[in-house]
Amino acid sequence: MSLNCSTDANPAAHVYDFYFNDILIGNSSSGVLIVTVKADGVYTCVPVNTVGTGHNATVSVTAVGTFAREGTGKIMKNPCAFEHYFLP
């Protein structure tokens, strides 16, 4: 799954920190982080600029069921179902 985080901060964000259930899992200067969904949880993005940290954006992810990968016949876990929650 691709997590995409952006902000219109001034000055611009120079890094985005990504958390899974409040544990830092990575950061990105582009605001994009690729993750493999293995469990239910909450992903949070925190933009950072020279002034400090900005408002967080979170997405709650629920891993559900199985699916057959098209053309392979392989059964795999369903990547996810998700809802966005944005904090003020």
Residues near 56 by Cβ (< 8 Å), separated by ≥ 6?
44, 45, 46, 87
Region at 73 (left for phi over 0; alpha for psi -120 to 50; beta for the rest) = left
Kindly state the average pLDDT of the residues 62-81: 52
pLDDT tens for 22-36 read 999 999 999 999 988
Full residue range of the structural domain in which residue 40 is found: 2-86
Q: Give the whole-angstrom CA distance, residue 16 versus residue 9.
A: 12
Q: How many domains in the chain?
A: 1
Is the pTM value of this prediction over 0.85?
no
Confidence of residue 87 (pLDDT cuts 50, 70, 90): very low
Task: Tell whether the torsion through CA atoms of 64, 32, 41 and 38 is positive or negative.
Answer: positive
